Structure 1
Amino acid sequence: MIELEGLTKRYGDKTAVDNLTFSVRPGIVTGFLGPNGAGKSTTMRMMLGLDNPTAGTVRIDGRQYARLKDPLTFIGALLDAKAMHGGRSAYNHLLCLAQSNGIPKSRVSEVLDTVGLTAVAKKKSKGFSLGMGQRLGIAGALLGDPQILMFDEPVNGLDPEGIHWIRNLMKSLAAAGRTVFVSSHLMSEMALTADHLVVIGQGRLLADTSMADFIRENSRSFVRLRSPQRERLLDVLHENGVTVVEAGNGTLEVDGGSPEQLGELAASHQLVLHELSPQQASLEEAFMQLTAGSVEYHAHSGGTAPQPPSQQPQQQGWGASWNRDKNQGKGA
């Protein structure tokens, strides 16, 4: 487990990390998100003792990183795939790490095989592609067979097969009870990998929640309906207090309702439905919504820059009552 308490880092007048408190638990993949300049890299460097905090503490399984003997056997990390001696072979790079941390020599060949670099083990790393460098960095993180793994942008330079491999690797590590903490700007990949999210903006904690709750709380969800009996369906929905948005092309959108109840309502009035589908925003849309006020660097390519969608107003009628019932059930 990784525990942060009041972690703060200032550079002169600039506060890069502002009183962060959260825990990274074992058994799940925890994603670490934030806009550029949010303080993610600084936070991860402080976790590994590479930067000293201005205030607060970081504990790795209850201890500070500096107090860990043979730290690679406790926590493995990939922060910069280029942080290696280019004149050393892949094998010798890992061998140096192993010898400095009391790790058996046999482990070097094992992790090279795990990451698919056995065939180039004797080649100098300066000739490696970006993807091969990433694999070697991941091998270094796995070398001490640690219970805690940290990865910063682990899919950089990887081909589709490599991306699929690292995704499954992180999931399998978490399934084995290890702590996996991963930072990435690729929202589509994070959505497929992470179970839990920690989101920061301008150095401050914005969210510490499950993936499902994060998307639900920071985006709009609705049910899409299409019917050849559109006008009759509209009448039935209005008669039952359901708030409907007409989205064009004959499509109706209902906020806050469940597909099951809407389907049963249509069936009870012998209405034919050509579509009845729940719609949920993507992780990227939810992330843009939450961090809209925390983006430090804005790019404009002419005209008006696109703005993130605003929070939807509270819907009235039947959909609102469903939401109230659901929320009351959570507190029961």
Structure 2
Amino acid sequence: MIELHELTKRYGDTLAVDRLSFQVPRGQVTGFLGPNGAGKSTTMRMILGLDRPTAGRVTLDGRHYGELNEPLRYIGALLEAKAVHPGRTAYDHLLWLAQSNRLPRTRVDEVLEAVGLTSVARKRARGFSLGMGQRLGIASALLGDPEILMFDEPVNGLDPEGILWIRNLMKGLAAAGRTVFVSSHLMSEMALTAEHLVVIGRGRLLADLSMAEFIKQNSRSAVRIRTPQPEQLLDALRTAGLRADPGPDGTYEVEDGDLASLGDLAAEHRITLHELSPQQASLEEAFMQMTADSVQYHAGDGRPAVAAAPEPAWGSSWQARGTTNGKQKEN
């Protein structure tokens, strides 16, 4: 289990992590979400002892990372896939990690096979693609067969087969009773992988709850109805004190409606239904709703930026100053 208590980190005047407290338990995949600049990477670095907290503490099964004699046996982490000496082969990179933690040489071959890199084990890391680098990083995390695993953007650069593989790997590790903590910006992938969510914004804890409860609390629910008798449906809903808003393709949506009650209402008024389905927001929609006030960088509306034409400097030779071939120099 990973436990954070009032964890705080300052860089000068910047408060990157602000009194963060939560637990990452065993037996489930816990997703770690937050906008850019929320403090996720800083938090993960402090868990691994790479950054020293300004205040507070973080423990791994009751101990600080610095107290672990052979840390790879307790926690494996993928924070930066390219953190590999480019001149080393995949095999040699894993071998020196294994020897530094007194792990058997046979473990190197086992994890290379597990991540699908056996055929390139003797190739130097400088020639690896992003996806191959990710697999090598995951092999490093698995090397000590640890009880705690932590992944930052684990599907970066992976093809569809690789994404499915890492998703099933994380679920399998959690099912075996291990602690799995994963950070990602891919909401669709997180929705398929994580059972529990920890969400932070501007270094502060925003949510610590199950995936289902997170979506429920941060989105509206509705029931979609499709019928060839729209006028009768609207009359029946109005009589029952319910309002229906027009939806796509001739459907109607009843906010906070109950499937059973709406089905009974339609049957009572002999209204034919072609669709009666619950509508729930996606994880992405719920995440955007919760973190709207915590986003550090806001993009524009998606339209291409067009620079305004420069005004001429009347009475002076504008193009002659600071220009080359009619183009202004960049300072």
Q: Which residue type is aligned with residue 133 of structure 1?
A: G
CA distance in 2, matches of 1:10, 1:243: 50
Distance 1:167 1:248 in 2: 33
Matched residue of 1:76: which SS? Answer: strand
> For residue 295 of structure 2, what is the aligned residue in structure 1?
295
Q: CA RMSD in A?
A: 1.4
Looking at structure 1, the residues matched to 38 and 113 of structure 2 have their Cα atoms a distance apart, in angstroms, of 36
Task: Name the amino acid aligned to 2:247.
Answer: A
Give the superposition deviation at 1:248.
5.9
Q: Offset at 1:51?
A: 0.1
For 1:246 and 1:170, locate their aligned partners in 2 and report how far apart those are by CA, in whole Å: 41
Aligned runs of 1:238-277 on 2, under 5 Å?
A: 238-247=238-247, 249-277=249-277
Matches within 5 A, 1:36-185: 36-185=36-185
Which position in structure 2 is the counterpart of 1:223?
A: 223
Mapped partners of 1:122, 1:300: distance in 2: 46
Deviations 1:126-157 (CA, angstroms, capped at 9, x unpaired) = 11110000000000000000010000000001
Cα distance in 2 for residues equivalent to 1:57 and 1:90: 34
User: Partner residue of 1:316?
Assistant: none
Please report how far the alpha carbon of residue 28 of structure 1 lies from its aligned counterpart in structure 2 after TM superposition: 0.5
| 1:87-130 deviation digits (Å, cap 9, x = unpaired) | 11101100100011111111000000000000111111111110
% identity of equivalent residues: 72
What is the alpha-carbon distance in structure 1 between the residues aligned to residue 131 and residue 303 of structure 2? 37
Aligned pairs (5 A) from 1:180-219: 180-219=180-219
TM-score normalised by L of structure 2: 0.90
Take 1:148 and 1:183, find their aligned partners in 2: how far apart are those partners?
Answer: 14
Report SS of the residue matched to 2:98.
helix
1:73 deviation in Å? 0.3
Instruction: Give the letter aligned to residue 146 of structure 1.
Output: P
- Post-superposition shift, 1:249? 4.4
CA contact (8 A) 2:220 2:256 kept: no
Indicate the residue corresponding to 1:317 in structure 2. Answer: none
Deviation, 1:243, is 2.8
After TM superposition, the score normalised by the length of structure 1 is 0.90
How many Å apart are 1:255 and its aligned residue?
1.2
Letter in 2 for 1:2: I
Which sections of structure 1, spanning at least 5 residues, go unmatched?
305-332
- Per the alignment, in what secondary structure is the counterpart of residue 279 of structure 2? strand
Task: Give, in angstroms, the shift of residue 303 of structure 1.
Answer: 6.5
Shift of 1:246: 2.7
Letter in 2 for 1:251: T
Q: Deviations over 1:252-299 (max 9, x none)?
A: 111112212211221122110011111111111111100000000111
Amino acid corresponding to residue 25 of structure 1 in structure 2: P
Q: Check the 8 A contact 2:59/2:65 in 1, yes or no.
A: yes
Higher Cα radius of gyration? 2
Give, in whole Å, the separation in 2 of the partners of 1:278 and 1:301.
Answer: 31
**What runs of 5+ residues in structure 2 fail to find an aligned partner?**
305-331
Aligned length: 305
Provide Cα deviations, 1:231-263, integer angstroms capped at 9, x if missing partner.
111111111122322336432111112212211
